[in-house]
Structure 1
Amino acid sequence: MADTPDARFEALAADILDGLWRRHPDWAGTVGLHEYDAELPDRSAGGLAAEAAWLAGRAEDLADLDPAALSVPNRVDAAILANQLAALRFQIEDLREDEWNPAEANPGVALYTLLARDYAPAAQRLSAFAGRLEQVPSALLDNRSLLAGKPLSRIHVELAIGQFEGTVDLIGAELDAAVAAASEAASKAGSEADSEAVSQARKAIDAVRPDASAALQEHIVWLKERLAAGDAGEEEFRDPRIGAELFTRKLSLSLDAESDAAAILARAEADLDRVSAEIAEAAADYEGVAVPSDEAERSALVRRVLDRLAESAPDNETILEYSRQALLAQFAFVRDHDLVTVYPDPYEVVEMPEVHRGVSVAYCDPPGPMEPAEVQTILAISPTPEGWTQERVDSFFREYNRHMLHNLMVHEAMPGHLLQLQHSRRQQAPTSVRAALWSGSFVEGWAVYAEALMARHGYPGDGDPRAVRMQQLKMQIRMIINTVLDSRIHCHGMTEDEAMALMTGRGYQEDGEAAGKWRRALLSSTQLSTYYVGYKEVSDLVRDLRADHPEWSERQVHDAVLGHGSPPARYLRDLIAA
């Protein structure tokens, strides 16, 4: 290899990424690298300190390179990689979330990913499962040592208890079902070698599962004791709000965007007024009336239309199939209107596993961007949890009515996350940085842009594009309010009553949805801002590309935006030009 600045950077980037995968084997699996599938990350005090030192050294190595000497793709990748190292170091040394959020230590997701996709023979994945399962007791012991004597966040303890209980179910009945299915498949195929491999994996699992199960139960009891001690005033809980200084720094690192926290909040609050006027106009169009001049009357009109739309609702028995049918309609609409290139990659719509519940209603879980096997994207929808009252269930489905579900599936799937990430997997670059290190603001920003795109083209949903437009504008208001909540809760002390009033008032949200969003804002600082910032950046980029290339079709513009992986949007202008 020639000794050029580009060659040196590409070698360094490969070395840094390999170091990340060794330290984060669960993360490696999600991007499609399975060398470390049998390992769990070392999140002990010593492991975190060692990683922080490694991150600092690697950042110095990157800083020694001259960005001006690199090609445009490598210069972008170097900036993304440097930001990622800084963000990980910030998490360990400054935010220190591992020391107050016990949900960080749950091995459930790392275990679940081994069962969720057929990226390798079942016996191989089950053997890796046994390897991770064997490490659960020591990992949880390390976590209790790390958390001992430190004030925990109450809401994060509650989340952890529920998710750890989901992990208990995962390594019980769900694992048994996976082993039985693998054994049956091998038997039907008539392969003695496969049957023997599954049998050996079963024995390995049986050897370590009792200790892992006992360790999980012990850890849940310990967490419940910490929760009870805090409630009794015997120990102190910490505020889940991270404060203005940490929030500002985390937001900058999370977004890798040009705007700062104060500017983002100011723009969001201005946009809230603008989109509130738009939804009033859409409601008046739906009703066939003039837009009222009085603010209270405009709000009442919007709420009246939304309440009428909310009457058309699915339930726990029909939500999955309805979502599947909505997605099929969206595939056809995007193709018919030639909005963006559509790929025939496999996907499935499933009920969200219990281990993932408690934060969001739906998610798109694509195959790893570096996954060599052809495996499906998983679109998970969460029915209402067991134990909810009928009133709360009804509120949920008024919020996620049929029209809203169409908009939600646009966001999560077509032409949102599902399609965008299919494009991202196909990008070619000198390094795998952009493949491995997604920008959450770009990924979410494109999905919100997709909602506006479909509504603008008259996507009919259940038959009336005006109904979809109302729900899309409601979601835009929700997105903007999410950004306001994110900043004002963590930086400005917004109370629950103030947040609920904003969401149920100007946001037209059901009480259950608003309560869940309050909880999510406390659980996930800065994440709620990614949608708004990404949407503004993607929208601005599309506007500029149309102006610069009037000869391009809409599909060409969108393919250009999606053709360079999932980097922060501010880098895309240079990448597209290059």
Structure 2
Amino acid sequence: MSDFVPVAERIVDAILASEPVTAFYAGDHTHDDRLPDHSAGAVAERTAMLVDAGNALAQLDVDELDPADQVDHAILTTMVERRLLELTEIREHEWNPLLHNPGPLLHGLMARRFAPVAERLESLAGRLAAVPDAVATARAVLHDCPRVHVETAAGQFAGAAGLIRDELPALLAEEPALAGRITPLAARAADELDGFAAHLRGLDADGRSPRLGRRQWEARLWHTLDTELSAAEVLRRAEDNLERVGERIRATAAELTGGPATDETVRRALAQLAEERPDNDTIVDFARVTMAETTDFVRSHGIVTVPDDECVIEAMPEFARGISVAYCDPPGPMETADVPTFYCIAPAPADWSPERVESLYREYNHHMVRNLTVHEAMPGHFVQLAHARRYRGNTRVRALGWSDPFVEGWAVHAEESLADHGFGGLPVRMQQLKMQLRMTMNAVLDQLVHCEDLSEADAMRMMTGRAFQEEGEAAGKWRRLLLTSTQLSTYFVGYTEVSAIAAARPPSVTVGAWHDAMLSHGSPAPRHLRTLLERVSKSTRVAARRG
């Protein structure tokens, strides 16, 4: 065993112990009774731990490690450096109340049946008991918060209180002996969360700008992407891709409608497709229909091995709404219990006008939902992350260090792959190209909003014009651009890098076998995946020569 393995395992243990969110989503349940501690003392302790971890990794001779451990060393080093940047430079825990929302950790214990109810309720009791201190810490450390983060967090904290009141009683009914101890903890936690939501709604000041500024945004981008590309190169490539995809969608629209290859034909084609759409009452059931469709298609065309894991499709919990329309919530790579992946979709909020609701479902029409299911589930996130959970290395580094560009890049590549194989015909091809425009525009806007002070009006014109988005979708994306930074660049950069790897498939290897190989190494950054796959290509060439 190399010196790297014990060092890496100690660092992984330290990260799991100091980050309950990371531990829970990784599938490690050692710390399920705790909430994150964002107090000044805890942040200082984590910072010191990460500095020590970085020093320990720097002292190792990387050249002596085997290729897999060299990759894990690079991944772990990037993880440590990213965390130090966040804690010491970005310091988002001091201005983003969304980071203090305990809702996801409470929901996870209630919704995921990874252990007997009594065991999960014992952990939940610990977390509920910790809510008052967590709220007090949030009040103490948060200052100068952006208005958009405050408004979104107020809704999510109220949603977390509702989660406790609405869902916990059914769980306690399965273990009534624990109700006497947990019910008072739950009542106080819900009241504290409601109180903090009210506190947020009562803040008068606009607070700081949600825009990071170029220095911090580029620093975060470098760690988020883990690529050799500069911010300027990302922007240049995205602008070029908008031109290429614009030509393709105009040609596809002309083929679909019989009209000329113009923007007006694209809008006419999209308006035609938008007439076939779900509504709040049917969106989740229709997503289930599309899951069956995509699964049959992937299997029959041999695109990738379909795992036998369970995927549950349901409405997005209220505490999680306000940032994206859908997400995939898988079991962690370290999870040992047989629990499902959740593919969640958010219906339109109850306070939206009928016009805005119609706009949402014109965007997420039947054909777009088919493409969305490809991205979030089959063969996108659900399939890729199920494959990733089967990876076993010398350390647990890849269980924690997944790459957003690889995860999102694979999902966008999956969209293109199914469209190329004919899934859904021209209607889905149109929506997939529209999604290509959207995710490419995301990378452009991500940079212009946070670094160039792009106005809302100009961003809306770019989204509804060049990217053909509905007004409601564009308005939601503007909000997401302010609530997040660099994450919206992962789709485009990841797609370009993952697609390049897919295109490097050796001629003697089938598409399905190459996709399986791409998914067999966990979720490393594309640059690391290229290194790991070189051995597959070399062995294939050797076998071909011998044959």
Q: What is the TM-score when the length of structure 1 is the normalising length?
A: 0.91
Deviations 1:426-458 (A, max 9, x none): 112111111222111100000000000000000
Determine the C-alpha separation between the residues in 2 that align with 1:385 and 1:560.
41
Aligned with 2:153 (options 149, 155, 160): 160
> Does the CA contact (< 8 Å) of 1:26 and 1:37 recur in 2?
no
User: How far 1:178 moved relative to its partner?
Assistant: 2.6
1:169 and 2:162 equivalent?
A: yes
Aligned with 2:13 (options 14, 18, 23): 18
1:361 and 2:325 equivalent?
A: yes
Determine the C-alpha separation between the residues in 1 that align with 2:176 and 2:163.
20
1:37 and 2:32 equivalent?
A: yes
Q: Specify the alignment match of 1:204 in structure 2.
A: 181
Aligned with 1:515 (options 471, 475, 482): 475
> Does the CA contact (< 8 Å) of 2:162 and 2:190 recur in 1?
no
Amino acid in the other structure paired with 1:271: N
Determine the C-alpha separation between the residues in 1 that align with 2:126 and 2:22.
16
Determine the C-alpha separation between the residues in 1 that align with 2:391 and 2:98.
34
Alignment of 1:121-136 (within 5 A): 121-136=116-131
User: How far 1:52 moved relative to its partner?
Assistant: 1.1
Determine the C-alpha separation between the residues in 2 that align with 1:577 and 1:273.
32
Alignment of 1:217-256 (within 5 A): 217-226=194-203, 229-230=204-205, 237-256=207-226
Deviations 1:178-199 (A, max 9, x none): 323xx2xxxxxxxxxxxxxx23
Determine the C-alpha separation between the residues in 2 that align with 1:33 and 1:130.
18
Q: Specify the alignment match of 1:63 in structure 2.
A: 58
Q: Specify the alignment match of 1:552 in structure 2.
A: 509
Alignment of 1:102-113 (within 5 A): 102-113=97-108
Runs of 5+ consecutive residues of structure 1 not aligned to the other structure? 184-197, 231-235, 292-297
Amino acid in the other structure paired with 1:453: S
Determine the C-alpha separation between the residues in 2 that align with 1:63 and 1:240.
35
Q: Specify the alignment match of 1:476 in structure 2.
A: 436
> Aligned residue pairs: how many?
535
Q: What is the TM-score when the length of structure 2 is the normalising length?
A: 0.96
C-alpha change, 1:208 and 1:285, in structure 2 (3 Å) is: same
User: How far 1:214 moved relative to its partner?
Assistant: 2.6
User: How far 1:559 moved relative to its partner?
Assistant: 0.9
Aligned with 2:110 (options 115, 118, 121): 115
> Does the CA contact (< 8 Å) of 2:259 and 2:265 recur in 1?
no
Secondary structure of the structure 2 residue equivalent to 1:238:
coil
Secondary structure of the structure 2 residue equivalent to 1:499:
helix
Determine the C-alpha separation between the residues in 2 that align with 1:52 and 1:203.
39
Q: Specify the alignment match of 1:233 in structure 2.
A: none
> Does the CA contact (< 8 Å) of 1:130 and 1:201 recur in 2?
no
Deviations 1:479-498 (A, max 9, x none): 00000010000011110000
Amino acid in the other structure paired with 2:430: M
Deviations 1:386-412 (A, max 9, x none): 111111110100000000000000000
Amino acid in the other structure paired with 2:191: A
Secondary structure of the structure 1 residue equivalent to 2:487:
coil
Secondary structure of the structure 1 residue equivalent to 2:348:
coil
Determine the C-alpha separation between the residues in 1 that align with 2:229 and 2:21.
32
Deviations 1:70-98 (A, max 9, x none): 11000000100110111111111100111
User: How far 1:219 moved relative to its partner?
Assistant: 1.6
1:215 and 2:192 equivalent?
A: yes
Q: Specify the alignment match of 2:545 in structure 1.
A: none
Amino acid in the other structure paired with 2:110: L
1:431 and 2:401 equivalent?
A: no
Percentage identity across paired residues of the two chains? 46
Secondary structure of the structure 1 residue equivalent to 2:419:
helix
1:87 and 2:82 equivalent?
A: yes
Determine the C-alpha separation between the residues in 2 that align with 1:220 and 1:340.
45
Alignment of 1:493-572 (within 5 A): 493-544=453-504, 546=505, 549-572=506-529
User: How far 1:221 moved relative to its partner?
Assistant: 2.5
Determine the C-alpha separation between the residues in 1 that align with 2:529 and 2:144.
42
User: How far 1:206 moved relative to its partner?
Assistant: 1.6
Determine the C-alpha separation between the residues in 2 that align with 1:217 and 1:415.
39
1:413 and 2:377 equivalent?
A: yes
